[in-house]
Structure 1
Amino acid sequence: VAMTTTTSQAISTSPATTHHVLIHLTREGASVEPDQASKNYPNAIRTTRFTALSWLPKSLYLQFHRAANVYFVAIAVISCVPWVKAKWQPKVMTVLMILLAQALKDLYEDLKRWRDDKAVNTARVGRFKPSASTFKPTFWRDVAVGDLLLVTKGEPFPADTLVLASADPAGTFYVATKSMDGETNLKERAAPAIVRTALDAEVGAPGAVNVGREASAACRQAEVASHVLNLGLTVELEPPHPSIQDLDCSVAVSGHGSGAPFGLSSVNFGLRGHELQNTSWVLGVACYVGDDTKARLNSFPPPSKTSELERFLNNCVLCILSFLLSVSVYFALASRWLSQAQDRDPLYQVFLKYLVILYPVLPMTLYIAFEVLHLIIGLQIEMDDQMCDKETEAYANARNTSIVEELGQVDFVFSDKTGTLTANEMRFAFCCVGTVAYGPFLPDPRAGLPAPAVDRAVQVIRDGSGPHSAEVRKFFEALAVCHTVKVDEDGTCQGESPDEVALVEAARSVGVAFEARETSGGGRSIHRVRAPWGVQDHDVRHVLGFTSDRKRMSVVCATPDGGALVMTKGADNVMEKLVTEPLPHEANVALAAFSRQGLRTLVVARRRLSPAEYGAWRAQWDEAGSAMNGRAAKLE
């Protein structure tokens, strides 16, 4: 498979908790072991560099990293000595003005950080009150571990939240993670299967907890929250750590089933800063708050940045100071040697007098002009219409103006991947099934002609007796099943990755259309595919998501005989090591040709598992999924 893209125009913290935490959800609310209610604002954040007490001392300490400031203060002190016989008032006042101006600049930038912190800490989220059976608006800063939160579409999660229920009957929801990883594509998440099953049993029918359209949305949400508390959930949390992908936690439902813990992973969480999309609302319990959240553990303190120009300026100042010291020493020695007076001043006094006389060689206003220019350039950046996002009408925010001149010294810009500099829109271009290549699937924009490969693929698929019909059918069937794409009511595909959306739409263009994904008992997922040979419901029991280590994505579909059908797509260099037979020569030639055109390439494969093979694999999978330590490695 080959695809192409379309080109388009904080604080490092230590976790507050270092041990496992248990959250018990009951009809009366939540209880946490050990108790976490020691802070007034458990979920408040602070990204400022200073406090009211530390602003001036810390700012002065940072300023004395500049050699010129040390020199100016030394001159002001020396001028106050009586035998120097110099006017100390101008020098002292000038030094104080320099230090105060730089301190005020630091305060101005820190106040902007404080303003941003306040906006975040005073944002509101719905918190469930069991006594009133309703959600009350609560400041983010007041959210604590164990709180049952309601997050609606378009809102960010205020804490690392374990989602327990969703407006979607399947329990799935999508989050935008661009605030954390810069990715514009949505990520699919889901409530734990054991909780969905228990909720269905609590209400009496699968998906019944989400019905009742005649009631208001607030009533339905409060009803779901009450049902969640009735389940008697116990959530065990591992100590907080920075790894975003590793969340080895578990949940047990004491009121239903055996009460055995069910393993959780990152797909069940909405992390702080993730924005809810494509789902009306989700209900979850706050698990990590404040400095224990992934966003905080992966941020760094606001640094005291120094630009290359300032380093160069400091070096120039050191050279000038060395010159002044040398000249002052020379003049002092010469004056001592030439003077014949009996009451001549000591040598060190003569040296200090010459040092004060020559200090204007290094102007005190040098750094004031330097800081004023920084402020002016920062204001210009924030008011620049060419740096305004046309969609959100948001202007650039110069949070630190100390190194703005570095922007003018950039010669090369390196990007980690194409999606960073493009619209991240993928289109299906070519494919090679077995030994036969098909393509291009892209229409000719200049001639206005449709893609020639579409009609050819449709003809091969409909001609069931052709030599390659079976292989082509299986290929496009895998594209229509092996994914986590969701189809909206208007038929629009939404997925975690634009690659998956492009593959699903390519299968639809040749007549193998993915229509819907529905949940069944036990947390199973049914992928409904309409094709020329009929409508098929694929019983997807397991989804093995793409990771940077695996470099592939798989789905395991149950078959009527008790076995399973595994469909996998992934990077060609990884898949070549996993297939039972080497890729045909024609396929390798096609891969090389696709790569030379700058296309992204994938290999798609499938395998049937016998009932015995599937049973053995599933036992290992369930055991690894419930592990509390090293779960990710065991699942790999």
Structure 2
Amino acid sequence: MLRWIRQQLGFDPPHQSDTRTVYIANRFPQHGHYVPQRFADNRIISSKYTIWNFVPKNLFEQFRRIANFYFLIIFLVQLMIDTPTSPVTSGLPLFFVITVTAIKQGYEDWLRHKADNEVNGAPVFVVRSGSLVQTRSKNIRVGDIVRVAKDETFPVDLVLLSSDRIEGTCHITTTSLDGETNLKTHYSVPETLVSRSVSRLESLHAVVECQQEALLLHCLLIYHFLIRPLGPENLLLRGARLKNTKEIFGVAVYTGMESKMALNYKCKSQKRSAVEKSMNTFLLIYLGILLFEAVLSTILKYAWQAENKWDEPFYNQKTEQERNSSQILKFISDFLAFLVLYNFIIPISLYVTVEMQKFLGSFFIGWDLDLYHEESNQMAQVNTSDLNEELGQVEYVFTDKTGTLTENEMLFRECSINGVKYQEINGKLVPEGMTDDSLDGSSPRLSCEELLFLKAVSLCHTVQISYEQPGDGPGDPFSHANGFSSQMEYYASSPDEKALVEATKRYPGGYTDLPLFHRYKLLHILEFDANRRRMSVILQTPSGSLLIPPPQKGLRTLVVACRHFSAEEYVEVDRLLHEACTALQQREERLAEVFSFIEKDLELLGATAVEDKLQEKVQETIEALRLAGIKVWVLTGDKHETAVSVSLSCGHFHRTMNILELVQQKSDNECAEQPLQDLEMLLTEPLLGCPGCVFRVVVMLHPDHVIQHGLVVDGASLSLALRGHEKLFMEVCKNCSAVLCCRMAPLQKAKVVRLLKTSPEKPITLAIGDGANDVSMIQEAHVGIGIMGKEGRQAVRNSDYAIARFKFLSKLLLVHGHFYYIRIATLVQYFFYKNVCFITPQFLYQFVCLFSQQTLYDSVYLTLYNICFTSLPILIYSLFEQLVHPHVLQSKPALYRDISRNSLLSFKTFLYWTLLGFCHAFVFFFGSYILMGEDTSLMGNGQMFGNWTFGTLVFTVMVITVTLKLALETHFWTWMNHFVTWGSIAFYFIFSLFYGGIIWPFLHTQDMYFVFVQLLSSGSAWFAIVIIITTCLFPDIIKKVFYRHLQPTSTQKSQVGYLGPGGVCLPTRHPPSKVAVNKLHSAETGNAWRSHPQHGTFTQ
């Protein structure tokens, strides 16, 4: 704790230089003057609070809300001066609101702590004191030697020291980081690869020098007097998984929140929805109304006292001290007293009701079986319920590609050999137009071209094979060939290669003339690079000749070709490759020249078609989002060709679009002046390209067709385009129907999201992804959604919501988002309305009592109005209301547009509800005053109509009217709506009879004793109640009927169109138990639990 405090105060920074020196196995030098550097521990923290800072930090965040801070001030004022009402009337609701909100936020953060503890408490093995010791992940220190076994996840960023392989290599997958399942090969340096035992590792005297941040990797391994440069191929990143390698040893260089995975995360910031921002704006307006009423009342009070005709009553005569006190202090004291009297116009219970609505409503997402994925047995998950209504306001969706739109599983579909198209049927390659039955069971004969094509595809790859016996240990590589049972698994650096090898493995059994065993010697691998867009291998065939079959990679198609070398030609090729590989200067350029020399005069063998399988219903989901007015941007780290191909296949790009491409811009000269001019021309000439501009236009439609535009930009070009030209670049993007960003780094994704959400239009953004590289944009967007992928939970843990598949996004937005928004928007407007109804009669009453600060209502009524009498109906409404049936919302995505741009909380709607509240308040007060105020013989015993009876009459009319007003706004009735609506009115009557029928000894006064009974005993009072309520609600009924039948909105038309006879909607079911969830999912659709748990009927 002391160290943390010193670091926070700047006295003890954790790092003193720009580089870190890591002593392997923490074998520090013996010099006495050496002071070890201090590094972060290995804990990953995604939570917001700790047990130490929860109370102060949560209170600080809650009192940032205007209403909470305002009521705190009011409470303090009531404690300091003599006010018309008790401090309990403000303090109790404030305490209730703060407590409920703190419990809700504490529970959500406890879930984050629980997830963090699972990661931080994972068991790991480290080398300490000459032995292998098991410890927890959070206890790993920089410099520790860590052992990672096959299929385990790397707990820290490691520099690879050795592996069980003689060559010191290992294979990993980074699915949890970038969604890619490709196998990647990493290497240890020659000086450490022989240290494969604990004893040799413990005696290793070496130092790793690297930068303080893992985002830029420039490392050196210092071994005795030898300095060895280290690169990304030597670093094993946290979150990646070891594959096809028994075990590795590595030294921890970056731990915890300093690892590359953690640095790609944004710092957490409190996300606030558009509804909450509107609430704060409305609260400021109401605060202005409150101040106006308080100032006006204070001025009128002193104006009345200044007139000589008004004599002070004998019981209100002031003392000598009061007469001599400062007039300014008296004015301020009276102003504060009026402020306290009218303070309930600010609805303090609004926030706690909103919190409860969000918390309880979030369970509907997790209970929805339409969002349940049966294969993975995963339900939707809510990590942050504060943003439920934001799901109904999304305008831009930013999505990852690999693992989000696609399954990341490459499948061989067809090929072309010697001009003939083949397809796979029952494990055989069959020419197009033929079927397996037409072969009559005979094995097809292969031509020389077909045989050579299959050999090339089978041999030109870098696929690794793992054999495992059914038991635990690794199997013998020859056991499979000898017929013994073993499990074989392929690992490839490219999913295309894996799909082709798996396909060719299936074919030999169907052909009689394809040799089963041949030995080929691999001489050289010419690795794939983006410029050549190909990978080649040089092989020695059994006949002694040399063969090179290089497939050229394109849009998920591979062109297969070969070239034969004589022995003399190969000697020359081998010499050129050796010279280029060992060159110290311009190595890449020299290798490119050699590759170009080798890969020429090729003989075309054929082509293959490999499909990156899309997730189910991706195309339908994107189309539904487009119809809902939501633009979809794809942000991916994949290469340009693959990204464009997937965008076309999933419907993100239509084939009737013009594709503008801003790619391969590498120099500042290229992307400084001319591109800006081209961008301006694109904007001034409806996004049409010009010769020589930085945008390459791919025309994909007939010239006479209406043009839509899609934009493709890569990461390097984006960085250059955003240097001073952000606004211009964003204008181009926003004028395109679809945008694809490829070769994107994680922080670039977040920057694009931030750039759009901070644009002048302030659109609501949503980011969705499945890998750790998507965490930054998920945290940056207004709403972040994690996909529950096959490996890794970083995106899910750092998201606001988590779903199993991209297709679920449609219902999450179009149905749940729609419901959440209309519910909370009505909740907010209704709260302001009923509080205006509540306090305005209090203000009007001051004109009657000559601004003596006499309260119209009893203190108990003041306290319980928002807590008990009117809170439950609106809470239940905000949980179950449905303007339109869920099936209609999904079948008509355009209805989503009706609620966009926060339309239900616009100033026009806010003004309507506020004026309606003032109108109803005037009717309450003056209706009661006119009908009852002059009746001096109201009571049966001849007593006059008193002050508390008049106030109780106004309060009674108000409670009934505001409750019935909500009933008129309700479209979907459940038994709970009926219960709380009529139950709230009944509870008010029962409570008032009980409260006024007993003498309470702890109360200072008994003003309300028998008041309510006397009120109900008067026929005039009942008559007044009926007349006033009818007067208030009759215009609402007329308006509702008029607009529904004469000027219906599209939403109202959809309501009418879906309802059956009598306006009764098909009921939905109650939430299932955990045991029954699988059974319910397989049940008929009408019998499964869907969005919202109730039986109910629609009303028009």
1:309 aligned onto 2:275 = yes
Counterpart-to-counterpart distance in 2, 1:235 and 1:391: 48
1:90 aligned onto 2:76 = no
- Picking from 212, 219, 243, the partner of 1:249 is 219
Counterpart-to-counterpart distance in 2, 1:492 and 1:621: 38
Local SS of the residue matching 1:162? strand
Pairwise CA distance, 1:136 = 1.4
| Contact persistence 1:128–1:136 (CA under 8 A) | yes
Amino acid aligned to 1:405: E
State the partner residue of 1:618: 581
Counterpart-to-counterpart distance in 2, 1:192 and 1:385: 48
- Picking from 188, 199, 210, the partner of 1:192 is 188
Q: 1:385 to 1:67 in 2, by over 3 A?
A: same
Local SS of the residue matching 1:427? strand
Pairwise CA distance, 1:91 = 0.9
Amino acid aligned to 1:249: C
Pairwise CA distance, 1:60 = 2.3
State the partner residue of 1:238: 210
Q: How does 1:202-281 map to 2 (within 5 A)?
A: 224-229=197-202, 232=204, 234-243=206-215, 247-251=217-221, 260-281=226-247
Counterpart-to-counterpart distance in 2, 1:252 and 1:484: 33
Larger Rg: 2
Q: 1:165 to 1:242 in 2, by over 3 A?
A: closer
Bigger strand share: 1
State the partner residue of 2:408: 424
1:329 aligned onto 2:304 = no
Local SS of the residue matching 1:620? coil
Amino acid aligned to 2:68: N
* CA deviation map 1:504-544 (0-9, x unaligned): 2344456699xxxxxxxxxxxxxxxx97894312134x564
Identify unmatched segments of 5+ residues in structure 1: 1-13, 203-222, 514-529, 573-598, 626-632
Amino acid aligned to 1:504: V
State the partner residue of 1:580: none
| Contact persistence 1:174–1:188 (CA under 8 A) | yes
| Contact persistence 1:175–1:277 (CA under 8 A) | yes
- Picking from 114, 120, 133, the partner of 1:136 is 133
Counterpart-to-counterpart distance in 2, 1:393 and 1:129: 41
Q: 1:119 to 1:83 in 2, by over 3 A?
A: same
* CA deviation map 1:277-326 (0-9, x unaligned): 34332222222223321122112233211112222222222232223333
TM-score when scaled to structure 2? 0.42
Q: 1:622 to 1:327 in 2, by over 3 A?
A: same
State the partner residue of 1:299: 265
Pairwise CA distance, 1:370 = 1.0
Q: 1:390 to 1:463 in 2, by over 3 A?
A: closer
Local SS of the residue matching 1:402? helix
State the partner residue of 1:372: 356
Amino acid aligned to 1:82: I
State the partner residue of 2:687: none
Q: How does 1:331-410 map to 2 (within 5 A)?
A: 331-340=297-306, 346-381=330-365, 390=374, 393=377, 396-410=380-394
| Contact persistence 1:188–1:484 (CA under 8 A) | no
Q: How does 1:489-568 map to 2 (within 5 A)?
A: 490-508=487-505, 534-540=518-524, 544=527, 552=533, 554=535, 557=538
State the partner residue of 2:907: none
State the partner residue of 1:210: none
Structure with greater contact order relative to length (CA < 8 Å, sep ≥ 6): 1
- Picking from 458, 461, 486, the partner of 2:465 is 486
Q: How does 1:472-483 map to 2 (within 5 A)?
A: 473=452, 477=456, 480-483=459-462
Amino acid aligned to 2:423: F
Pairwise CA distance, 1:502 = 1.3
State the partner residue of 1:126: 125
Pairwise CA distance, 1:46 = 3.0
State the partner residue of 1:147: 144
Q: 1:117 to 1:282 in 2, by over 3 A?
A: same
Counterpart-to-counterpart distance in 2, 1:621 and 1:485: 30
Amino acid aligned to 1:106: Q
Pairwise CA distance, 1:77 = 2.5
Pairwise CA distance, 1:137 = 0.6
State the partner residue of 1:452: 431
Local SS of the residue matching 1:363? coil
Q: How does 1:149-164 map to 2 (within 5 A)?
A: 149-164=146-161
Q: Which segment is superposed worse, 272-281 or 120-129?
A: 272-281
Amino acid aligned to 2:556: R
Pairwise CA distance, 1:101 = 2.8
TM-score when scaled to structure 1? 0.68
| Contact persistence 1:554–1:568 (CA under 8 A) | yes
* CA deviation map 1:83-105 (0-9, x unaligned): 43431122123223322332333
Q: 1:364 to 1:57 in 2, by over 3 A?
A: same
| Contact persistence 1:23–1:32 (CA under 8 A) | no
| Contact persistence 1:428–1:506 (CA under 8 A) | yes
Q: 1:129 to 1:351 in 2, by over 3 A?
A: closer
Amino acid aligned to 2:124: V
Amino acid aligned to 2:284: L
Amino acid aligned to 1:480: L
- Picking from 538, 546, 557, the partner of 1:601 is 557
Amino acid aligned to 1:58: K
Counterpart-to-counterpart distance in 2, 1:15 and 1:396: 40
| Contact persistence 1:145–1:287 (CA under 8 A) | yes
* CA deviation map 1:446-467 (0-9, x unaligned): xx99642699xxx999544xxx
* CA deviation map 1:27-70 (0-9, x unaligned): xx54257765746x832333332334432222222223322222
Counterpart-to-counterpart distance in 2, 1:117 and 1:79: 44
Pairwise CA distance, 1:160 = 0.8
Counterpart-to-counterpart distance in 1, 2:338 and 2:296: 10
Counterpart-to-counterpart distance in 1, 2:361 and 2:552: 47
* CA deviation map 1:409-466 (0-9, x unaligned): 4577554436423322222334567xx544343449xxx99642699xxx999544xx
Identify unmatched segments of 5+ residues in structure 2: 1-12, 309-322, 437-442, 469-486, 564-569, 589-665, 667-1100
Local SS of the residue matching 2:64? coil
Counterpart-to-counterpart distance in 1, 2:424 and 2:509: 18
State the partner residue of 1:441: 423
Pairwise CA distance, 1:365 = 0.9
| Contact persistence 2:294–2:339 (CA under 8 A) | yes
Counterpart-to-counterpart distance in 2, 1:558 and 1:36: 52
Amino acid aligned to 1:111: W
Counterpart-to-counterpart distance in 2, 1:486 and 1:622: 36
Amino acid aligned to 2:577: Y
| Contact persistence 2:182–2:494 (CA under 8 A) | yes
Counterpart-to-counterpart distance in 1, 2:73 and 2:389: 30
Counterpart-to-counterpart distance in 1, 2:53 and 2:142: 31
| Contact persistence 1:75–1:91 (CA under 8 A) | yes
| Contact persistence 2:161–2:189 (CA under 8 A) | no
Counterpart-to-counterpart distance in 2, 1:102 and 1:306: 15
Q: 1:160 to 1:303 in 2, by over 3 A?
A: same
| Contact persistence 2:179–2:402 (CA under 8 A) | no
Paired residues, what number?
Answer: 518
Pairwise CA distance, 1:371 = 1.1
Q: 1:449 to 1:496 in 2, by over 3 A?
A: closer
* CA deviation map 1:141-161 (0-9, x unaligned): 221222222212332211112
Pairwise CA distance, 1:367 = 0.5
Q: 1:18 to 1:73 in 2, by over 3 A?
A: same
Counterpart-to-counterpart distance in 2, 1:551 and 1:337: 89
